[in-house]
Amino acid sequence: MDKLIIRGRTQLKGEVVVSGSKNASLPILAATLLTDEPCVIRGVPHLRDTITMLKILRSLGKEVFFDNGVAKVNSTRKHSVVADYKLVSTMRASFCVLGPLIGKYKEAKVSLPGGCIIGVRPVDLHLKGLKALGVDIKIDAGYVIACAKSLKGGYIYLGGTFGSSVLATDNLLMAAVLGKGKTIIEAAACEPEVQDLAAFLVKMGAKVKGHGTPIIEIEGVKRLHGAEHKIIPDRIEAGTFMVAALMTRGDILIKNVNFQHLGAVIDKLLESGASVRKSDSSLRVYSRRRLHSVNVTTLPYPGFPTDMQAQMMSLMSVTPGVSVITEKVYPDRFMHVAELNRMGASIQREGPSAIVEGVKQLSGAPVMASDLRASASLVLAGLAAKGTTSISRIYHLERGYENLDIKLQQLGACIKREKE
């Protein structure tokens, strides 16, 4: 296992290119199960999670070639409808093969993903939606066993206690595109990654309207054909580099950005006093003066993304003033608090909120990554801290950031990878 060693307090300067979105790639790769024809997906980041999805596609009977960000997915003569526990348990998003399998083959056996470090993470909304499409669902020995004589269109209200669900919306979209008649998903997730999936499905011949709004309408078609698609840029990776620029008092040009997807993040950083300059598909981020604290509440898109909460907390931990950070999507997503405090931050958790009192200086320390975005917040803290930070268990980071250490090195950071 590798760890990252960071010597902090180097200003980051220069240009960085954001990779394709992990959270768009995963359901889009799963959607290739909906057709027997070849599909070509470009801009797929080389990550632990995308590699896991490609392994799952192979286990389901696809032939996959992946090189230089291009995934070519072809069919073989045999297919399987069983997504095994071993693969699904390593990545929750594997559960999004359920929708396309039931859509295409009218049967599926997919392992339940279980909880994870950021919370309980149920799948009730996925199952409720599939039932509304006429799918019979049983849970047996840790698997969801789904079958349907035919999929009928239906009305699905997808709102849950914590808003809508991104992967449930993806699953239902992918099931309904090959259903009979019209399906309406109300309280659908509006995230750009859902929009990108819908755009790919439309290229495959699906009839989908309203994606990007809370009401999605799908008119089922008999079959879908192969298609080519380029994945949207990763808005969370872009947001993480924006914070990196500010935490090191640097000046970075972040390329391959769709800033329309980053409205809430840009707004919060501007409110804290940062300078953010937009041009074409780039963002320049820097700060000429000291930032001041801002309150942040995470919400489903277009609200402030929960996947940027930990990084924002790192920034607020070195920003003068008191900031209240409230998590409304995953109320238990605060694993990074204890580790940031070990680096000298002053953060107190109060239920679904954290009260962050900005300190003058963090100090480097050995810390442990607990989940993907928590790991990113520790890297950011390490970049700003005095002294050396070593971050163990960085396989979490490798799930979601393509070549993060190399990209940071190119921006001037003193960061290296070592064997634990």
- The contact set with ligand UD1 (CB under 6 A) reads 23, 26, 92-93, 119, 121-126, 160-162, 165-168, 189, 193, 306-307, 329-330
268: its two tokens = 């919060």
Classified as helix, coil or strand, 17 is: strand
**CB of 3 vs ligand UD1, minimal distance in Å:** 24
Non-local (6+) Cβ contacts of 122 within 8 A are none
Catalytic residue list contains 116: yes
Nearer to ligand UD1, 37 or 332 (CB): 332
Would you say 30 or 391 has its CB closer to ligand UD1? 30
State in angstroms the smallest separation of the CB of 332 from ligand UD1. Answer: 9
With vertex at residue 107, the alpha carbon angle to CA 106 and CA 112, rounded to the nearest 5 degrees, is 135
Q: Residue 117 Cβ, how far from ligand UD1 at the closest point, in Å?
A: 12
Q: Nearest distance from residue 10's CB to ligand UD1, in Å?
A: 29
Least gap, CB of 414 to ligand UD1 (angstroms): 29
Contact 56, 97 (CB under 8 A): yes
Residue number with CB closer to ligand UD1 (66 or 162): 162
Token output for 56: 């799952």
The DSSP element (H or E) to which 193 belongs, if any, is helix 192-203
Q: What's the rounded Cα separation, in Å, for the pair 382 and 363?
A: 8
Cα–Cα distance for residue pair 365/388, rounded to 1 Å: 6
- Closest to ligand UD1 by CB, 167 vs 206, is 167
Give the nearest distance from C-beta 274 to ligand UD1 in angstroms. 23
Tokens standing for residue 27 = 């359901």
Tokens 């700060």 belong to residue:
287
Q: How far apart are the first and last CA of the chain?
A: 6
Other CB atoms within 10 Å distance of the CB of residue 401: 26
Distance in angstroms (rounded) separating the CA atoms of residues 91 and 26 = 10
**Comparison of 6 and 185: residue with beta carbon closer to ligand UD1:** 185
User: Of the two residues 273 and 352, which places its CB atom closer to ligand UD1 in the complex?
Assistant: 352
**Residue 16's closest CA among 194, 225, 326, 240?**
240
Smallest distance from ligand UD1 to CB 24, Å: 8
Burial class of residue 280 (count of CB atoms within 10 Å of its CB; 0-12, 13-18, 19+): exposed
In the bound state with ligand UD1, the residue whose beta carbon lies nearer, of 375 and 390, is 375
Query: Cβ closer to ligand UD1: 251 or 307?
Result: 307
Give 3-state DSSP helix, strand, coil % of the chain, rounded to 5.
35, 30, 35
Distance separating alpha carbons of residues 212 and 404, to the nearest angstrom:
29
| Nearest distance, CB of residue 321 and ligand UD1, angstroms | 27
Identified catalytic residue from 96, 116, 147, 190:
116
Distance (Å, rounded) from C-alpha 19 to C-alpha 407?
11
Torsion angle in degrees (nearest 10) through CA of 179, 131, 100, 219: 30
Residue 246: closest CA among 314, 171, 174: 314
Distance of CA 174 to the CA centre of its chain: 18
Q: Which residues are catalytic?
A: 116
